[in-house]
A and B are shown apart, each in its own frame.
Chain A
Amino acid sequence: MILSEEDWMALAISLKVAVVASAASLPFGIAVAWVLARKSFPGKSVLNGLVHLPLILPPVVTGYILLILFGRKGAIGSVLDQVFGIVLSFRWTGAALAAAVMGFPLMVRAIRLSIEGLDRGLESAAATLGASRFDVFRTVTLPLIMPGIVTGTILAFAKAMGEFGATITFVSAIPGETKTLAAAIYGYTQVPGGDEGAMRLTLISVGVSMAALLASELLARRVQARTEGRDA
């Protein structure tokens, strides 16, 4: 099975976008999950709704909203462009943003569940031993919610690998820049004689997904064993 240079690029872009999207959204995911799990404040259900919105909206709508907000003329995009010189629209970074937004609800949900399942007595115990709030979070909370973090990150990664609608709406499918695996497959199906190419990339796609799933399963099991105090 021979991959064309464009196929390789699509695979590389997809992996880059998925890794960056899941890694960059992780701190925000933990913070939002923490706030939703532990804090009560007016407008909490609004925040919860906003986080989950990409799960319910058609991806094209999410992509279009991103375009309005983060496009070069958009409310946020123009500031990013003029002040920081950062352009997201029609760049691979924009694809990462779209993928991150789409995967965010899945990530937050997994982490939130593990925070809610945490025995808060352990945090009190750490405090009585002299650990500051930050130290408690770093040494007790974080390691104990690690299974949720791993699961959430993998879900976000998987979502990013498969993301299509929001990405193509926001950043189009520019070869070598924003043309991900999914976009490339779609592209092949739109041209005569593209079946072979579509099949190649489909197989690649299945292979990458399976590898990611197996790796995550292994990782999750190790982390789970560690937090439960069994020797992995």
Chain B
Amino acid sequence: MLDVDIRHAQGEFRLEVAFSAGEGLTALVGPSGSGKTTLANIAAGLIRPQAGHVTFNGETWFDSDRNIFLPAERRRIGYVFQEGRLFPHMTVRQNLQYARHFRPVRVEEAADTRLIDLLGIGHLLDRRPAGLSGGERSRVAIGRALFSTPSLLIMDEPLAALDQARKAEILPHLEYVRDETGIPILYVSHAMEEVARLANRVVSVASGGVVAQGEPGAVLGGTRPMPEDMEPATFISARISHHLEGEGLTVANSRAGSLYLKRGSAEPGDWVRVYVAAQDIILGIGEPGNLSALNRLEGRVLALEERAGSVWVTVNCSGEVVLVQVTRHSAARMALAEGQPVSLLFKSVSIDTQGLFRRQDARP
């Protein structure tokens, strides 16, 4: 368990943050300039904050009152930097061995080979970083961080420099690290897609402070404050029921009701986390008639809130709270009120395939 409670000023910028990160992957999200990377560097021991404390699994890494500061090299962390930061004067193999050299541990050679295979970097071992593609460099950087047998893995936007195809190539590796190694991960990102897919816990920061922290659904969905560059949305946990053969659709069951998803890689029995943007949902009162939208959830209005020219409606669908964004005009015309029964309609296509995210805790 990583516990951070610090105050730090860098010129004009003030950071006053308290958060914790436990098992699995904790995403540190927020707009650029919100202090995410500074926080990651504080956790890593690359920046010494002015006041507060940082502890990890009961070990004090920083305590301003007791004048304790453990530098990065003594924290047993692995850090995957955005730009990779592979040593240019070493081969890939030497980069990996470098990580092992300073933290000698007994590791089965087979385990090393397995990691190299999983990351798909076996054929790169004798190459030098300058000759690698962006995706290859990312995989080597992840491998190097893991080779140092860290007790905490810190990743600072490891995918930001990659295009969509490369991201899709790396994401499964990150899921593997999260699920198979058991190493807690602090993951800095402002990409909703990655966070939705990977995070067990989200810490949302903005202008130097924590806005919210908790489960991804609670932090990123609902009417909680969220990073301004993120779309308001809801996460719904669902279990794949069956595929509709020939139609390219998959039926999944959630607490809110059945959902029609575009067919993805998930198989019947799998848990998925569905991401529905608040803007993609149509709100209806009464029997909506014959519409093409496949998904229809029933619920009651929990709350209405005016925000930036539109109205955010939270709807309780049998315990699943879904966020819908409508115009002020619509809200007035429909005379929306708390407790009112409503229907939520959205197309299956409005849940994109990228939204078909596996839920970590439900994996075999």
Contacts and interface: CB of A to CB of B under 8 A. Distances in A.
A122 B95 CA distance: 12
A128 B89 contact: no
Contacts of B73: 127-133, 136
B83 A144 contact: no
B89 A129 contact: no
B219 to A, nearest CB: 27
B48 interface: no
B81 A131 contact: no
A217 interface: no
A190 interface: no
B78 A228 contact: no
Given A121-B85, A144-B89, A128 B77 contact: yes
A127 B70 CA distance: 12
B98 A144 contact: no
Nearest to A226: B89
Interface in A181-232: 226-231
Contact of B85 (A122, A143, A228): A122
A129 B148 contact: yes
B72 A122 contact: no
B87 A140 contact: yes
A128 B88 contact: no
A122 B87 contact: yes
Given A129-B99, A129-B102, A139-B98, A228 B88 contact: yes
A124 interface: yes
B43 to A, nearest CB: 11
Given A227-B89, A228-B88, A124 B131 contact: no
Contact of B102 (A135, A143, A228, A229): A135
A143 B73 CA distance: 20
B17 to A, nearest CB: 21
Contact of A124 (B46, B87, B148): B46
A139 B90 CA distance: 10
Nearest to A127: B72
Contacts of A50: none
Interface string B4-45: 000000000000000000000000000000000000000011
Given A127-B72, A128-B77, A229 B46 contact: no
Interface string B141-185: 000110010000010000000000000000000000000000000
B76 interface: yes
A119 B74 CA distance: 22
Contacts of B76: 130
Given A128-B46, A229-B128, A144 B72 contact: no
B2 to A, nearest CB: 15
Contacts of B87: 122, 125-126, 140
A19 B72 CA distance: 40
B144 A143 contact: no
A124 B72 contact: yes
B79 interface: yes
A143 B72 contact: no
B78 A229 contact: no
A229 B83 contact: no
Contacts of A140: 87
B44 A128 contact: yes
Contact of B130 (A126, A135, A230): A230
Interface string A144-171: 1000000000000000000000000000
Interface in A104-131: 119, 121-122, 124-131
A130 B145 CA distance: 11
Interface in A55-113: none
B329 interface: no
A126 B98 contact: yes
B227 interface: no
A144 to B, nearest CB: 6
Contacts of B144: 129
Given A125-B81, A229-B130, A229-B131, A144 B102 contact: no
A110 to B, nearest CB: 19
B120 interface: no
Contacts of B45: 127-128
26 contacts: A119-B85, A121-B83, A121-B85, A124-B79, A127-B45, A127-B46, A127-B71, A128-B45, A128-B73, A128-B75, A128-B77, A128-B79, A128-B145, A129-B103, A129-B145, A130-B99, A130-B102, A130-B148, A131-B102, A132-B73, A139-B98, A140-B87, A229-B130, A229-B131, A230-B128, A230-B130
Give the 8 A-B CB pairs with smallest separation, nearest first.
Answer: A130-B102, A229-B130, A229-B128, A128-B79, A229-B88, A125-B85, A127-B72, A130-B103
Given A129-B99, A227-B88, 16 more contacts: A121-B85, A122-B88, A124-B72, A127-B71, A128-B44, A128-B45, A128-B78, A128-B145, A129-B103, A129-B148, A130-B74, A130-B102, A131-B102, A132-B73, A229-B128, A230-B131
